[in-house]
A and B are shown apart, each in its own frame.
Chain A
Amino acid sequence: MGKYFDMLQEDVRVKEGLAACMNCGICTGVCPAAAYYDYDPRQIVNTVQTKDDAAIEKLLRSDTIWYCGECMSCRPRCPRGNTPGYIIQALRSLSQRLGFFVDSEKGRQQLALKRTIGQNIMRTGYCIRPDLVDPDLHPEQGPVWRWIHDNDKDVFERFGQNYCKPGVGACRKIDDRSMEEIHRIFEVTGGTKFFENIEECSDKKAHEMGYAQGADDTYFMDVLTVNSGTHSEK
């Protein structure tokens, strides 16, 4: 008993975010995820503080830990100074390190995030760039965004000369040396390995789920777009 709790304790966010929780539930009261999903951050914090391995493993393999939006609205409200959002971050990190994230629909979405935001960072130095926000995958962005996306260079030129080019300015091209430094930082700090682990675990799971080619584009599109509709039942 306590193996997973000890692993969580190695994450400073648990040291910062968890003293004894008295189960008042104010975090749940203020939580946007609790308003939308079948979700209760109070219960998560309580489960973690029981140090019960079986209960924590169940959490690590569940959809539950993936509902939080990390808005951190819980943080200033807790009368004990806890931060359920930090505990969620630590649970998500551990779930991925242990490969448990692929056991839930919401957890499997980490591959989609790695292949969009993660790949954008490694390719461009930005989390997003206009040419990478595809209007077909973002219908909510509306016709103005499609116009911007289709005429990106002309639209951006009005606000500076360096769109996708070297120099200063909005959405400039980041120089090769700086990109090398970012890649080196990811290697040295374990970021690259973390990405690789998401890929490997997803590929294995995809095969198990019957995707003959593993975590290919079909699997990627499925984890990005499919919602089983079972997450908001109250």
Chain B
Amino acid sequence: MKIAWKEYQKDIADDNYFYARSCIRQNFFPGSEAAFLNILRQDLGRDVYEDPRHTSCTGIGYHSDIVPLETIMTVVARQFSLMTEAGYENFVPSCITSFGIYSEALELWHDFPELEEKAHEYLYKATGREFKKPKNLAHTSDVIYHHREEIAAKAKRKLVNVETGRPLRGVEHIGCHYAKIFPKAGVGGSEFPYVLAGMIEAWGGEVVDYPERRHCCGFGFRNYLVMANRGYSIANSKQKFESMAPYKPDFIVANCPGCAMFLDKWQYAISEMEGTFYGPDRQGIPVLTYEELAGLVLGYDPWDLGMQMHQVAVEPLLDKLGVEYDPSAKYLGKDGKFIGKPEECAIGSYTKNIL
């Protein structure tokens, strides 16, 4: 079973990417989007193009059932039109919801060619634009996965505990819309997803298997966005935390920016509501994006990666990795500007144990 993921492979373009940002990732993890571009362009020498005219795919609106199918398909068509205009064929969205949306449009257009025709008509009527479909659609994590060995070759450090020499244990969470809607679109499919596990293994860590590994983070769109419904969201995250905690993970890495945010923020909420902490010594389990994980492996500064924007303190992981960081620089703005600090709370605080 351990090699079952190998049956689900996908083509991932090697270079020349048209990049589409994510509402949630750019909102909560702008350092991760910056890191993706820096890693691809500077560390790996690849070409990534960003068109300032691209917008949200409106996927959160679609899955909140306020944006009709015809509308979102035409927004997707406009994004493809910008890619076509720029001369690119490899579309790379930075969001799992978007990745599901683009995959859904392409599949529906394949199964119902009249819908594709309609998308062309709507787009032309609304904007005068035309579009070609991408030759390759890959999520940004697919692209990092594709280059994982090259990143390993340039690594400044491994995912290993510097004090004990043991591999760090990572929980990977791929996000429902990466492979549950279109299993063939994800590395390893929906049952044996390998996109993040492949990164962890290539960089020297160990993947934690646990009962609720495939369970949703609990976003549930309207079940978080509407305040009255948030019990659904925190309850599902809690189900995952309780399932993973006995395996003592050193970190969680998430594919989807929403999942990364929820698994971070709901740990805070649970700690404040009932005093439960899922890590040792009243700490949480640090939750990373795969760009942050890759960035740390490549030797990026954690505050340049934006890890100060997490609510669960990340320092316990940084210390295990032997990352040098300046605690006093954590909440500074550009060029060392002091911009105040967040109020302290238990799960966001960390004092290094000095023996």
A194 touches B68 (CB 8 A): yes
Contacting residues of chain A (110-154) with chain B, CB-CB under 8 angstroms: 110, 112-114, 116-118, 121, 125-130, 133, 137, 139-148, 150-151, 154
In the complex, what residue of chain A is closest to B176 when comparing beta carbons? A71
Q: Considering the complex, give the chain A residue whose CB is closest to the CB of B226.
A: A109
B268 cross-chain contacts in A, Cβ below 8 A: 140, 142
Which residues of B from 263 to 309 have beta carbons under 8 Å from A?
265-266, 268-269, 272, 303-304, 306, 308-309
Smallest Cβ-Cβ distance to A139: which chain B residue: B269
State the Cβ distance, A159 to closest chain B Cβ, in Å. 4
Pair A96/B65 contact, Cβ less than 8 Å: yes
Question: Is there contact, CB below 8 Å, between A155 and B66?
Answer: no
Does A38 make an interface contact (CB < 8 A)?
no
Instruction: State the interface size on chain B (CB cutoff 8 A).
Output: 98
Q: Which residue of chain B has the shortest Cβ distance to A162 in the bound complex?
A: B52
Contact B309 A189 (CB under 8 A): no
The verdict on B1 contacting chain A, using a C-beta distance below 8 Å, is: no
Instruction: Assess whether A2 is interfacial by the CB under 8 Å rule.
Output: no
A70, A114, A126, A158: the one within 8 Å of B333 (CB): A158
B63 touching A70, Cβ below 8 Å: yes
A-B contacts at CB below 8 angstroms, number? 267
**Contact B265 A147, beta carbon cutoff 8 Å:** no
Contacts of B54 in A (CB 8 A): 178
A158 lies within 8 A of B235 (CB):
no
CB-nearest residue of chain A relative to B331? A147
Could you say which of B83-91, B200-208, B320-328, B338-346 contacts chain A? B338-346
Question: Which of B30, B66, B123, B221 has the most chain A CB atoms inside 10 A of its CB?
Answer: B66
- For A171-211 the 0/1 string (1 means CB < 8 A from B) is 11011011001101111111100110010000000000000
| Chain A residue nearest in CB terms to B228 | A227
Is the Cβ of A160 less than 8 Å from the Cβ of B30?
Answer: yes
Q: Is the CB of A195 within 8 A of B234?
A: no
**B310: nearest chain-A partner, CB-CB:** A144
Whole-angstrom CA separation of A66 from B220 in the bound complex = 11
Please name 9 pairs of A and B residues whose Cβ atoms are closer than 8 Å in the assembled complex, sorted by A. Answer: A32-B215, A32-B216, A32-B236, A73-B176, A73-B216, A150-B340, A175-B52, A191-B68, A227-B229
Q: Which 10 A-B pairs have the closest CB atoms?
A: A69-B220, A191-B71, A170-B30, A147-B342, A170-B26, A127-B60, A154-B333, A143-B343, A125-B55, A184-B126
Told that A12-B69, A154-B337 touch, could you supply 7 new A-B pairs with CB distance under 8 A? A71-B220, A127-B24, A129-B23, A141-B311, A160-B34, A170-B33, A185-B122
Residues on A facing B (Cβ under 8 Å): 11-13, 15-16, 32-33, 35-37, 66, 68-73, 75-76, 89, 92-93, 96, 106, 109-110, 112-114, 116-118, 121, 125-130, 133, 137, 139-148, 150-151, 154-160, 166-168, 170-172, 174-175, 177-178, 181-182, 184-191, 194-195, 198, 223-227, 232
